[in-house]
Chains A and B, each alone.
Chain A
Amino acid sequence: MIWNEAKECMSRDEMRHLQSKRLVKLVDRVYHNVEFYRKKMQVLGVEPGDIKGIEDLHKLPFTTKSDLRDTYPFGLFAVPKTQIVRVHASSGTTGKATVVGYTRRDIEIWSECVARAFTQAGLGRDDIIQIAYGYGLFTGGLGAHYGAENLGATVVPMSTGNTKKLTTMMKDFEATAIACTPSYLLHIAETLEADGDIDKIKLKAAICGAEPWTEQMRKQIEEKLHINAFDIYGLSEIMGPGVACDCIYHKGLHVYEDHFLPEVIDPETLEPVAEGETGELVFTTLTKEGLPLLRYRTRDLTSISYDKCECGRTLARISRFKGRSDDMLIIRGVNVFPSQVEAALLEMGETAPHYMLIVDRVNNLDTLEVQVEVDEKFFSDKISELENLTKKIAHVIQQAIGLAVKVKLVEPNTIQRSMGKAVRVIDNRKLV
């Protein structure tokens, strides 16, 4: 099944034409309504009239996460606040949140895109879908929820946190699908296994995203639960989950490019790379009203293909992500920058500025250990003081990144010093 065949299967020429038309309108809108973009374009000497179609995309300025931070909270909004019906927020690099806003029409388009993704996963109005992403400022829960409702399915808004209740309802309601992070789904699968309930569920599909995962992990989920697992992609700056999703052929994620115009660029030269080559994914939000963005650098590394898929869709496909062009980590769905930890430690002023983040996955749940060097300034002959210090550091970091961490004190000079870019992270999750 295809949710919107007219859009998802149009010829490449028609798509380019539609994108061009929408881009021209978008540029006109942001130039006149967003001071930030007007200034950026003026610096580049570009006027709205210079953009006649997507072939002129390269003339437009890039947008980065720090631009959103610098204009916190609503500086890049393109409509009066009376038209904004919802905001979401995600963590930023310095503790300041990145705030995104939606008009009623933005929410409708978002629901449309998520409905397309769920349809790709073989779901429809007969299905009972448990949404087990967090509900709240995070876009995962509400984004998937509205999409599933738009689809006409029966939606069970589980949110996260109570796995027993989730598995009980999965059995009792005979849920046919679940949307959650892949690591959480593996945790759920293990709970079902431990309770001997794997054969008592009616699940047929899972739509997983919000964190990096591997093809092996996808297959592991499919085998454990006897279901099809799909990879949904999104980021709050562009919209939330539902920017792209893979289909039953699992040959890349279809980008809903009538709304989100993708480019893949070399993160160093900022020039586009050839089709099929790996680079940084960049999006221009063609139809967004609340927070339209020009050439937003996602920092996600991928490659793009414009070949028609076996499923019949002509939408561009992006490959499974190959990493990031910055040092952002995604831990239990939360974006974490090592610089946030550094800033928190420096602000505390009681530790050496040498630290190491050790990310691991234990029983399918991400763990974060922060190693901090004990230096003479705060060393004590009392265990209680050293333990209080550990607790204090853990608290300060948790406040900064919104994740519980384990702090481990280590001897001075044991954390590797580097001449160039310091290695601050050891990720043992083997996700790529």
Chain B
Amino acid sequence: MFLKQLSVFIENREGRLEQVLDTLKEENINIISLSLADTSDFGLLRMIVSDGEKGKEALKARGFTAMLNPVLAVKLSHQVGQLQVLLSEICKAGINIEYTYALATGNDDASIVIKTADLEKAAEVLQKTGVELVSAEEL
């Protein structure tokens, strides 16, 4: 039901992002989607990759701080207002959204990654509305 997201801590230094990507390439890990959040001192790279466990171990071996954590990925159709409808359900249930970014599955839909405070509850709410969650097997 949940996808494993690979998060990596990156200092704001030249070449660090490239070194993360280089590590994943070396291990033949495909990046399906990514989002980079930046602050004045550091960046936080969040990715959905083909093999999260392997990616995490490879990054740790190269000295990075990396972790895996569950996120929800939801399939949306390419229609105006789809995302709003979906989020309003989560809001009505009183669940706080921590972050979200687009998921490129290569299919015709417009999937999205969502991290909320209570993932189980969010998944339950979303499934009731009939939306389809992206499973790890599909990637």
**10 nearest interchain CB pairs?**
A381-B7, A413-B63, A379-B65, A374-B9, A411-B11, A408-B41, A374-B65, A381-B69, A383-B37, A412-B65
Q: Which residues of B contact A168 (CB under 8 A)?
A: none
- Please measure, in the bound complex, the distance between the C-alpha atom of A264 and the C-alpha atom of B116, giving whole angstroms: 65
- Please measure, in the bound complex, the distance between the C-alpha atom of A409 and the C-alpha atom of B11, giving whole angstroms: 8
Nearest chain A residue, comparing its CB with the CB of B68 = A381
Given A376-B67, A383-B39, 6 further pairs, Cβ under 8 A = A374-B42, A374-B65, A379-B7, A387-B39, A411-B9, A412-B65
Within 8 A of A (CB), among B69-111: 69, 98-99
Tell me how far the C-beta of A63 lies from the nearest C-beta in chain B, rounded to whole angstroms: 43
Q: Which residues of A contact B7 (CB under 8 A)?
A: 379-381
Check if A411 sits within 8 Å of B65, measured CB to CB. Answer: yes
B34-71 Cβ-contact flags toward A at 8 Å (1 or 0): 00010101101010000000000000100111110100
- Please measure, in the bound complex, the distance between the C-alpha atom of A386 and the C-alpha atom of B64, giving whole angstroms: 16
Tell me how far the C-beta of B61 lies from the nearest C-beta in chain A, rounded to whole angstroms: 11
A410 near B: Cβ within 8 Å?
Answer: yes
Within 8 A of A (CB), among B1-57: 5, 7, 9-11, 16, 37, 39, 41-42, 44, 46
Q: Which residues of B contact A165 (CB under 8 A)?
A: none
Nearest chain A residue, comparing its CB with the CB of B43 = A383
The secondary-structure label for the interface of chain B is strand
A382 near B: Cβ within 8 Å?
Answer: yes
Nearest chain A residue, comparing its CB with the CB of B45 = A381
A414 near B: Cβ within 8 Å?
Answer: yes
Within 8 A of B (CB), among A377-432: 379-384, 386-387, 408-414
Nearest chain B residue, comparing its CB with the CB of A384 = B98
- Please measure, in the bound complex, the distance between the C-alpha atom of A379 and the C-alpha atom of B59, giving whole angstroms: 14
A366 near B: Cβ within 8 Å?
Answer: no
Tell me how far the C-beta of A385 lies from the nearest C-beta in chain B, rounded to whole angstroms: 9
- Please measure, in the bound complex, the distance between the C-alpha atom of A387 and the C-alpha atom of B37, giving whole angstroms: 12
Check if B63 sits within 8 Å of A411, measured CB to CB. Answer: yes
The secondary-structure label for the interface of chain A is loop
- Please measure, in the bound complex, the distance between the C-alpha atom of A169 and the C-alpha atom of B37, giving whole angstroms: 49
Supply 29 A–B pairs (Cβ within 8 Å), ascending by A: A374-B65, A376-B60, A379-B9, A379-B65, A379-B66, A380-B7, A380-B67, A381-B7, A381-B46, A381-B67, A381-B69, A382-B99, A382-B115, A383-B44, A386-B39, A386-B42, A387-B39, A408-B41, A409-B41, A409-B42, A410-B42, A411-B9, A411-B11, A411-B16, A411-B64, A411-B65, A412-B64, A412-B65, A414-B63
Residue among A381, A383, A412 with max Cβ neighbours from chain B (10 Å):
A381
A375 near B: Cβ within 8 Å?
Answer: yes
Q: Which residues of A contact B67 (CB under 8 A)?
A: 376, 379-381
- Please measure, in the bound complex, the distance between the C-alpha atom of A328 and the C-alpha atom of B64, giving whole angstroms: 32
Tell me how far the C-beta of A43 lies from the nearest C-beta in chain B, rounded to whole angstroms: 50
- Please measure, in the bound complex, the distance between the C-alpha atom of A387 and the C-alpha atom of B66, giving whole angstroms: 17
- Please measure, in the bound complex, the distance between the C-alpha atom of A384 and the C-alpha atom of B46, giving whole angstroms: 14
**Of the residues B60, B65, B66, B98, contact of A382 by C-beta under 8 Å:** B98
Check if A414 sits within 8 Å of B11, measured CB to CB. Answer: yes
Tell me how far the C-beta of A362 lies from the nearest C-beta in chain B, rounded to whole angstroms: 16
Tell me how far the C-beta of A150 lies from the nearest C-beta in chain B, rounded to whole angstroms: 50
Check if B99 sits within 8 Å of A375, measured CB to CB. Answer: no
Check if A376 sits within 8 Å of B37, measured CB to CB. Answer: no
Nearest chain B residue, comparing its CB with the CB of A408 = B41
Check if B44 sits within 8 Å of A386, measured CB to CB. Answer: yes
- Please measure, in the bound complex, the distance between the C-alpha atom of A22 and the C-alpha atom of B44, giving whole angstroms: 66
Tell me how far the C-beta of A74 lies from the nearest C-beta in chain B, rounded to whole angstroms: 44
Within 8 A of B (CB), among A348-388: 374-376, 379-384, 386-387
- Please measure, in the bound complex, the distance between the C-alpha atom of A411 and the C-alpha atom of B63, giving whole angstroms: 8
- Please measure, in the bound complex, the distance between the C-alpha atom of A375 and the C-alpha atom of B66, giving whole angstroms: 9
Q: Which residues of B contact A387 (CB under 8 A)?
A: 39
- Please measure, in the bound complex, the distance between the C-alpha atom of A156 and the C-alpha atom of B26, giving whole angstroms: 69
- Please measure, in the bound complex, the distance between the C-alpha atom of A387 and the C-alpha atom of B43, giving whole angstroms: 11
Nearest chain A residue, comparing its CB with the CB of B46 = A381
Given contacts A410-B11, A411-B9, contact A381 B115 (CB under 8 A): yes
